[in-house]
Copies of this chain bind each other. A is one copy, B any other.
Amino acid sequence: MLTLSNSASYAVKALSCMQEGEDRPRFVKDIAAACGVPPAYLAKIFKKLVDAGILVSKRGWAGGTDLARAPGEIRVIEIVEALDGKEFLEGCLLGNEICSDERACPLHQFWKRERVLIAGELHKQTLADVIAFEERRARARQSRQAIASASA
C-alpha cells in the first residue's frame, strides 16, 4: 500500500484533537481515548513530536502535553517527517537504491515531479487546516441530523 506510516497517521489524528481554548494542557491517555489510538503507543509518538518541537510536555502533577505553537504554524509535513524521517519522500517509486538523474528507472522523471507536488501539499496544509476540515465535517453531520430529525 502506497501510504505514509501508521504512526504518522496516528500523529495527525491525535494532534487534530488538541484544539486550543479548552482546559489544557491535556494528558496522553485522554487524547488517546478521544481519537481512538492505543495510549501507550501514542505516548511514544508524542515523545517524537516533543523532540521535533511540535509538542511541549511537562511531567508529574499538573503535567501534560500541549502544542508548542498555534495550529496554523504547524505544517503537516513537519508531523510526517517527525515520525517517518526527513527522507520519507526521497526514494525511487520502485524502491531502487540507485535511481538518480543519471542512473534512473523509467518512472524516475515522473515520480520526481510527483514528489514535489506531494511535498508541496503537505507543506501547504497546516494543523489548523486539518482541524477546520474536521470541524466543518462535524458541523455538516450535525446539520444533516437536525434536518433529518426535524422532518421526522
Binding site for B on A (CB under 8 A): 1-6, 8-9, 12-13, 76, 84-85, 87-96, 103-107, 110, 114, 117-118, 121-122, 125, 129-130, 133, 137
**What are the residues of chain B within 8 A of A85 when measuring CB–CB?**
1
Q: A27 CA to B118 CA in the complex, in Å?
A: 40
Residues of B within 8 A of A9 (CB): 92, 94-96
Contact of A110 among B3, B107, B121 (CB under 8 A): B121
Chain B: which residue is nearest A87 at the CB level?
A: B1
Question: When the two chains form the complex, which single residue of B13, B90, B103, B121 contacts A107, counting CB atoms closer than 8 Å?
Answer: B121
Contact partners of A1 in chain B: CB under 8 A: 84-85, 87-88, 90-91, 95
Looking at chain A's contact residues, the main secondary structure is loop
Query: How far in angstroms is the closest Cβ of chain B from A81?
Result: 12
In the complex, the answer to whether B6 meets A95 with C-beta atoms within 8 Å is: yes
Q: Which of B2, B76, B106 interacts with A129 by CB under 8 Å?
A: B106
Q: How far is the CB of A125 from chain B (nearest CB, A)?
A: 6
Bound form: Cα–Cα A56–B152 in Å? 61
The answer for the CA separation of A138 and B4 in the assembled complex, in Å, is 34
Residues from chain B with a CB closer than 8 A to the CB of A117 are 114
Closest to A80 in B: B94
* Contacting residues, chain B, for A91 (C-beta < 8 A): 1-3
Contact B107 A125 (CB under 8 A): yes
Q: Are A4 and B4 in contact (CB under 8 A)?
A: no
Which 7 A-B pairs have CB atoms at the shortest separation, nearest pair first?
A: A9-B94, A106-B133, A3-B95, A9-B95, A106-B130, A3-B91, A110-B121
